[in-house]
Structure 1
Amino acid sequence: KPNSELKLQIFIDTSSLEIFINDGEAVFTERFYFDNAPQVWLTAKAQCLTQVYRLDGQAITFE
């Protein structure tokens, strides 16, 4: 919809990329292996609000 608000949630880890549009109205999931640390670029024709969170994971070890 032109001129409507769009909510994107983008999740990237070492082997996958997931994009959720408007709380799951549309979803994109892909296995992707990055050669280097991934970068995200956003462009918009109107004002936008962004929040970026870097999440650090922990390895799970099994005994």
Structure 2
Amino acid sequence: MKSRLRATIAALLLTTAVAAGITLADNAASPQGDTTWGAPAGDTTWGAPAPDRTVIAPLDTTWG
């Protein structure tokens, strides 16, 4: 029984390692965007258009 359990665990670990290796190789081979998180330029977190940056509001420096 123990050898069968060990063989099953070894097979699961090997499968996980192979899947991780394939994922890493695919990620390394694919072209990356030039943004920090890998999103294409102009893409925003929730799919909304980029905000208008023409008006810059001053920072609030008060304590209350």
State the TM-score, normalizing by the size of structure 1: 0.16
Structure with more contact order per residue of length (Cα contacts < 8 Å, sep ≥ 6): 1
Select the structure that is richer in helix.
2
Larger Rg: 2
State the TM-score, normalizing by the size of structure 2: 0.16
Select the structure that is richer in strand.
1
